[in-house]
Structure 1
Amino acid sequence: MPSPRPGTLHVVATPIGHRDDIGARAVETLRKVAVIAAEDTRHTRPLLQHLGIDTPLVALHDHNERTAVDGLVERMREGADVALVSDAGTPLISDPGFRLVRAARAAGLKVSPVPGPSAVIAALSVAGLPSDRFIFEGFLAAKAGARRARLTELAGESRTLIFYESSHRIVECLQDMREIFGADRAAVVARELTKLFETVLDAPLDDLVRQVSADPNQQKGEFVVMVAGRPAGEDERLAEGRRVFAILKDELAPAKAAKLAAAITGAPRKALYGT
């Protein structure tokens, strides 16, 4: 008896908010596969019920992915098609699934994308920031020191920067960006995209800090933060001065840190600290 045709791993994008954003091909794929590997079955099940789909679900998340992958790969070897979904948007974009995709490809199995919503692209499309070249940084570190260190590394980047951020860190994140990138740097905060309380705030970082800090409603939900790259006309010494100042001020008094950063980079001290 011939061996069964190996199954396919379908990487399926699901809505980031509005359920009607799911594509017809995604619906058909989720209906036909043998099993759906979901980041959180409790989150995916209501979507499937809304679509009238009763395909079995298995959990695949950060805590079990290493152990769950072998079983799913074996099922595909035996001929079962599997769909991979995250809680929202395109799988693997700051979500689990990398190990399963890598293992499936290493096993010689077909991995096929079923494209659709992505919060990164949706946010960038409405931001009004340069979109020809950009960097997606995902979530910044939860700890302030590590977060500021990464932002400092990005201070001189000329491409548009895109981040995910959580509701309980959004204000601190914007404050750190203002300090490291400069108060006048253009930025956009996209919140709750495609949902009932969607908002997109577009302003210099200093204004965004004030707006979000003053409005508790703007501190709720899911966020995509986009920051313009270093302007072409901005003095490279100033950009480097800000980067060095952000490092030194964690160890020294701000006035002394600004003085040393100015001496090291040639940037004007007043532009770094205002004294």
Structure 2
Amino acid sequence: MSSGTLYLIPVSLGPASTGLTTPADVATRARSLSYFVVENAKTARAELKRFEHPQPLRELDIRELPEKPSASDLDALLAPLLAGSDAGLMSEAGCPAVADPGALLARRAHELGIRVAPLVGPSSLLLALMGSGLNGQSFAFHGYLPVDEEARNRHIRELEAESARFSRTQLFIETPYRNQRMFEALRSVCKADTRLCVARDLTLDSEWIHTRPVAEWKKIAAPELAKRPTVFLILAA
């Protein structure tokens, strides 16, 4: 018996999304599946309801992927695929396996000879890069920066120096309730001519993307970022 396929199913970036960011063929594929590996079962059910899945949601096999899955966790989640079933991998928001523990499941699927099929959908990182006007030829995503203030500021300076050296756009995110502190750190630490982009609430009605030199950010009021999904990008001169 041939193994099934692990479909990577992008989802909306927030509850206020109109759903227009999800291509129709993604919803069609999701409706054809009855087994899902997800980051959060409640969020996944809401997305499957939005996709108008034909089966009662309580009858679907929806299993949560641990934040730090063990080898046995991954093998157990992939066992139905080895038996011939297809599965959908869904993240909390946006594209699964990008800044997401689902990457470990995709890696193990490759090791087991299971086909991995990524589907098209919204990625907050690429949307932020697209909208920033910064260098899209050379860029790097760094995930979360250190929480400790001194370590964070040192890391920002290192990323800024690397950006200047390679003309590289640097992308990173922060836990939403610490967004305001991250913005103030960037405005304080970065050089005046470094360009800073703040991309908030991407694809939502409240979407807000602005790029300015740090010197200009210092002259205006800080944007409202608390508890709002935000991507930060810098490009040093």
Instruction: Please report the TM-score for the alignment, with normalisation by the length of structure 1.
Output: 0.75
Per-residue CA distance 1:227-274 (angstroms, 9 max, x = gap) = 11x32xxxxxxxxxxxxxxxxxxxxxxxxxxxxxxxxxxxxxxxxxxx
Q: For residue 241 of structure 1, what is the aligned residue in structure 2?
A: none
1:139 aligns with 2:144: yes
1:28 aligns with 2:37: no
- How far the C-alpha of 1:89 sits from its partner, in A, is 0.9
Aligned AA for 1:49?
Answer: K
Q: How does 1:193-212 map to 2 (within 5 A)?
A: 193-208=202-217, 211=220
**Quick check: 1:35–1:82 contact (8 Å CA) kept in 2?**
yes
The percent of aligned pairs where both chains have the same amino acid is: 27
Q: CA RMSD in A?
A: 2.1
Task: Tell me, in whole angstroms, the C-alpha distance in 2 between the residues paired with 1:106 and 1:220.
Answer: 38
Aligned-partner Cα distance in 2 for 1:61–1:23: 28
User: Is 1:120 the counterpart of 2:125 in the alignment?
Assistant: yes
CA 1:104/1:147 → structure 2, altered by over 3 Å: closer, same or farther? same
Shift of 1:25: 2.1
How many residues are treated as equivalent by the alignment?
Answer: 225
The alignment status of 1:69 with 2:85, answered yes or no, reads: no
Note the C-alpha offset of 1:115: 2.1
Determine helix, strand or coil for the equivalent of 1:154: helix
| Superposition deviation, residue 97 in structure 1 | 0.9
> Structure 1 or 2: larger helix share?
1
Matched, 1:84 2:89: yes
Corresponding residue to 2:232 among 218, 225, 236: 225
Q: Distance in 1 between matches of 2:117 and 2:136?
A: 26
Match 2:3 to one of 6, 9, 15 = 6
For the Cα contact (< 8 Å) 1:174–1:209, is it kept in 2?
Answer: no
- Asked if 1:175 corresponds to 2:184, the answer is yes
> Measured at CA, do residues 209 and 220 of structure 1 come closer, stay the same or move farther in structure 2, by a change above 3 Å?
farther
Q: Tell me, in whole angstroms, the C-alpha distance in 2 between the residues paired with 1:66 and 1:43.
A: 25
Q: Structure 1 stretches of 5 or more lacking a match?
A: 232-275
Whether contact under 8 Å (2:31, 2:51) holds in the other structure is no
Q: In the TM superposition, what is the alpha-carbon distance from 1:210 to its structure 2 partner?
A: 5.9
Instruction: Report the Cα distance in structure 2 between the residues aligned to 1:42 and 1:205, rounded to whole angstroms.
Output: 40
Unaligned runs of 5+ in 2: none
Aligned to 1:163: 172
Encode CA deviations 1:141-179: one digit per residue, 9 max, x unaligned: 222233223222212222111111233222322333234
Bigger mean CA deviation after superposition, 173-182 or 29-38: 173-182
Higher relative contact order at CA 8 Å, sep ≥6: structure 1 or structure 2?
A: 2
